[in-house]
Amino acid sequence: MFRNNRVARLLNIEYPVLQGGMAWVADADLAAAVSNGGGLGVIAAGSMPPDVLERQIVKARSLTDRPFGVNIMLLSPTVDDALEIVVKNHVPVVTTGAGAPGKVIERLKPLGTKVIPVIASVAQAKRVEKQGADAVVAEGMEAGGHIGEITTMVLVPQIVDAVDIPVIAAGGVADKRGVLAAFSLGAEGIQVGTRFVCATESNAHSAYKNEILKARDRSTVVTGASTGHPVRCIRNRLTREFERLEKAGASVEEIEKLGTGRLRAAVVDGDVDFGSVMAGQSAALVDKIQPAADIIRELFDGTQDMIERLQGLSNR
Ligand code: TUI
């Protein structure tokens, strides 16, 4: 296990890396592969009806003896069901996204489940710490999917200064340089999404993975800002249609209707032309398909001593 690291200790994992809770992508196969590689694999409840979620948890247990988590997407209509399934199946860790996790913390905290909200501002971080969160993922706007407005570089140190619980950096972290940058900012762990989409064990459609492998510095765009739910995706015919509607002053309903079912179309059916190819800016840094365990090894190989020194830097 990583020495002197609160995230590895909290989650009982070897390397302080969480896999992002990516709807439609993060299933039992990917989560188990990440956990077997020494990180924390995460099953995304967001896209799953309750019975599917339960089957995925059971499947992950059959594929790994190590801890894994479930991500609860708070905009989802099935939050309450997901919560009860997590309780029933004794899932040790829950991450949350896209909303205020008070209810989740209240239900899970007394049971000893570790709750780690993904947040995008200092105020949210302070609030969830007060509510009893065990750590936070500070997600910068480089990340894929639904995002906040602040970059990882600027967000992470502010959150490190604002809370006492461990801070896990997300958004733009896809290689060893990103890992060391995150720890330099005072983070004690990282969350990685986009690079794990391209893991061998990821069931995302090969056309989706190829879009990430092909991506360059300006390949992603943010759409939907006018609806209050900005989403970062790889530029395609769908994002251009979003831009057209937003420029034309279309209603929130009209814009949101365009997005319905589009993530599934991209991830499951491989519709990368008119599907929602959610990915972070770090897509430009991802250039190969490889096993999740190899990704984790590449991220952390030879970093223990450096990270220990960097952690010392920010221990005020
Ligand atoms: O949740 C994410 N990323 C996501 S969720 C998602 S599904 C979706 N699809 C279409 C539209 C919207 C969502 C795809 N990607 N990341 C974590 C994250 N959470 N980023 C930002 C936030 C966040 C936002 C508001 C966290 C808390 C929050 O709090 C609101 C409040 O009231 O405090």
**Domain coordinates in residue numbering, the chain:** 6-203+288-314, 216-278
Q: How much is the pTM?
A: 0.97
Q: Give 25 Cα–ligand 1 centroid separation in angstroms.
A: 16
pLDDT digits (tens, 9 = 90+) for 56-65: 999 999 999 9
Pick the residue whose CA is nearest to atom 30 on ligand 1: 99
CA 202 to chain CA centroid, Å, is 14
Express as a percent the part of the chain with pLDDT over 70.
Answer: 98
Atom of ligand 1 nearest to the CA of 139: 20
Q: What's at 216, amino acid-wise? A: R
d(C-alpha 137, C-alpha 160), whole Å = 11
Cα→Cα distances 232→10, 141, 144, 282, Å? 30, 8, 5, 11
Domain 6-203+288-314 CATH superfamily: Aldolase class I (3.20.20.70)
Per-residue pLDDT of the chain (316 residues; tens, 9 = 90+): 788 899 999 999 999 999 999 999 999 999 999 999 999 999 999 889 999 999 999 999 999 999 999 999 999 999 999 999 999 999 999 999 999 999 999 999 999 999 999 999 999 999 999 999 999 999 999 999 999 999 999 999 999 999 999 999 999 999 999 999 999 999 999 999 999 999 999 999 999 999 999 999 999 999 998 888 999 999 999 999 999 999 888 999 999 899 999 999 999 999 999 999 999 999 999 999 999 999 999 999 999 989 988 876 655 4
d(C-alpha 153, C-alpha 169), whole Å = 9
Q: Give 110 Cα–ligand 1 centroid separation in angstroms.
A: 25
Tokens read off for 176: 């060893």
